[in-house]
Amino acid sequence: MFVALTEILRDQLFQSAQPLALAGAEQVATTRVRWVHPSEVVQVGGLLHGDELLLTTGAALLGLRIEAQHAYLQSLVQRGVAALVIEPPADGPTISAKFIQRAEELGLPLFRLRATVPFVELAEKINRQIVSEHAATLQQADEVSQRLARHIASAGPNLTPLLEMIASALRVRATMEDLSGQVIAESGPEGQEDEQGAGAVATDLFVGADVAARLVLYSKIGTAPEQLELVAQRLGSIVSLAFAQHYRPGRLQIADTSLLRAIVSGAGTHFIVERARQAQVPENHPSCLMVFQSFDMSRVRSVLENTLHSRFPSIRTYLEAHRLYAMVQLDPHDPRGARTQLVQLLREALSGMSVECCVGPLASKIAHARWSLAEALTVESLASPFPNEGQVRDASDYALERVLKRFTDSQALNEFIDEQLGLLIAADKARGSSLLKTLEVWLGSGCNSTSAANRLYLERQTMHKRLTKIFSLIGGDPRETGRILTVHLACQLALRF
């Protein structure tokens, strides 16, 4: 559920804080807020899902260099934050003209509060309204679902009466369409989908692991699309149950499900190869496995089917327990390029959604598919070292971490770390410094001091002083001693074990 930003701005409590619009005025009228979130964390971008109204005093933010402040704004825009509200302390740093200009360039609505307002009280008030509307919508959807279930139990799974019940209860036009867009059944006022200002939402209907059809609801004018979408998703399972009794999966669909089930369950190589043959998957065709976790799995599957299918028509999905698994066959002439494109498409398609996707490495043939999935699951268990990684985690970015995961002798690890970085770690402990982290960031930046300084929000001069101290503690510049790989490995081990 969303609340219009203009409605929040008119709120009496918000008005009592005397808000002053500084940037993004053109975006205010069309901006909607999904949640109000107070936070003083500078790296908050990676913790958000999008459409939040972010409240902050800016105490930590406004004291940073202007480049770091710009990076903060960029991270908010990348996560789809609705607006930023700052109430700077009276004796603290002020909002600079460059900060305001950058927010304007990014199209991010920016407000300054000139009077004090309790952030917690404001957040609770607006969020309570959002939750209340969300609960009311779910209650309405559940009531309709119960009526549908009673009808199916007493009168059977005829589709048209079910759609008529949906149309009547929600005052919409309801249709069921196959994957080519042909109408299977329909009900509700004809022509409503053509009304100016009316909208439509669709939810996939699954039979087993396959998308078999779609339920489409055409809203009346003025109905919030996210409200109708939530209702459609809620009704999807009960309508799928009715549709399943009219639907018979083909031999190839059964084979696809059997193949994915064999890979997920860890079946033997010979068994997987045989299942692949039945699913018409060439034994030596490169592929990539993915695993998804979300509380809204039906929407995730819908995005995968609708967004990726045109570029990767071979995509197969399989739902088991709380995870969704997917396999994509890659272009055999350029499998790595195809996988790179797959990751990019996933990041675009899943942006702003509450989902985590882990993409396994390239499997050169179907017999390696289980290995690709196992590596994706390994990435799922690792903490992310990337502050703004987003919803999609690429196993290629975790190659070293996946190797380290296989180390089992903790004493040998500690001895190796001490041999390479013992003096450096001791210096950090004695002085409360962060030389180890500085070294790790520098190595991870390709030994680029400017890039590392930007990531650590340091002045270049400070960065060079730290590196001089680090080199004196680890036996010299690793670029000159030939120890870059060894030192980098020791850093990764020290920070993760």
Of 190, 172, 184, the residue nearest 231 (C-alpha):
172
- Alpha-carbon gap, residue 444 to 366, rounded angstroms: 33
- Alpha-carbon gap, residue 133 to 3, rounded angstroms: 10
Average pLDDT over residues 281-307: 84
Going from N- to C-terminal start, the domains of the chain cover: 3-117, 132-246, 251-405, 407-495
The structure tokens listed for 99 are 């900060």
Residues 365 and 263: beta-carbon distance below 8 Å: no
Picking from 152-156, 195-199, 388-392, which range would have the lowest pLDDT averaged per residue? 195-199
Instruction: Give the angle subtended at the CA of 393 by the CAs of 303 and 395, to the nearest 5°.
Output: 120
Is domain 251-405 annotated with CATH 3.30.420.40? no
Among 93-102, 122-131, 208-217, which range has the highest average pLDDT?
A: 93-102
- Give residue-wise pLDDT tens across range 35-63: 899 998 888 877 777 889 999 998 889 98
Examine the pLDDT at 13 and tell me if it is beyond 70.
yes
Picking from 82-96, 228-242, 280-294, 397-411, which range would have the lowest pLDDT averaged per residue? 397-411
Q: What is the pLDDT of residue 180?
A: 60
- Could you tell me which residue, 348 or 48, shows the higher pLDDT? 348
Domain spanning 132-246: which superfamily? Answer: GAF domain (3.30.450.40)
- Could you tell me which residue, 259 or 256, shows the higher pLDDT? 259
Instruction: Give the angle subtended at the CA of 197 by the CAs of 237 and 186, to the nearest 5°.
Output: 40
For residue 196, name the pLDDT band (cuts at 50, 70, 90): very low
CATH number belonging to domain 3-117: 3.40.1390.20
Instruction: Give the angle subtended at the CA of 441 by the CAs of 58 and 434, to the nearest 5°.
Output: 70
Examine the pLDDT at 194 and tell me if it is beyond 70.
no
Task: Report CA torsion sign: 151, 318, 257, 204.
Answer: positive
- pTM of the predicted structure, to 2 decimals: 0.54
Tell me if domain 3-117 and domain 251-405 are identical in fold: no
The DSSP element (H or E) to which 356 belongs, if any, is: strand 355-359
Examine the pLDDT at 178 and tell me if it is beyond 80.
no
- Give residue-wise pLDDT tens across range 417-449: 899 999 999 999 999 899 999 999 999 999 999
Of 67, 106, 68, 63, the residue nearest 84 (C-alpha):
106
Residues 32 and 5: beta-carbon distance below 8 Å: yes
- Give residue-wise pLDDT tens across range 103-146: 999 999 999 999 888 888 888 988 888 888 888 888 888 888 89
Place of tokens 């202007």: 66
Residues 2 and 130: beta-carbon distance below 8 Å: yes
Distance from the Cα of residue 197 to its chain's centroid: 30
For all residues of the chain together, what is the average pLDDT?
86
- Strands 35-38, 52-56: pairing is parallel
Cα–Cα separations (whole angstroms), residue 229 to 45, 51, 138, 189: 26, 17, 11, 19
Coil, strand or helix at 185: strand
The structure tokens listed for 490 are 């020791």
- Alpha-carbon gap, residue 20 to 424, rounded angstroms: 49
Residues 350 and 391: beta-carbon distance below 8 Å: yes
**pLDDT more than 70, % of the chain:** 92
Instruction: Please state the three-class secondary structure of 477-495 as a single string.
Output: CHHHHCCHHHHHHHHHHHH
Coil, strand or helix at 384: coil
Could you say which DSSP state residue 459 is in?
Answer: -
CB atoms within 10 A of CB 93: 14
Query: Between the CA atoms of 455, 458, 459 and 464, what dihedral angle is there, to the nearest 10 degrees?
Result: -90
Report the half-sphere exposure of 320 (CA within 13 A, side-chain side).
Answer: 13
Task: Report CA torsion sign: 172, 173, 176, 178.
Answer: negative
Could you say which DSSP state residue 92 is in?
Answer: S
For residue 213, name the pLDDT band (cuts at 50, 70, 90): confident
Residues 439 and 424: beta-carbon distance below 8 Å: yes
Examine the pLDDT at 367 and tell me if it is beyond 60.
yes
The structure tokens listed for 125 are 């008030």
- Strands 287-294, 323-329: pairing is antiparallel
Long-range residue pairs from 189-197, CB within 8 A, at least 24 positions apart, any chain: 192/218, 192/220, 193/218, 195/220, 195/221, 196/221, 197/221, 197/222
Residues 173 and 218: beta-carbon distance below 8 Å: yes
Task: Report CA torsion sign: 272, 277, 281, 282.
Answer: positive
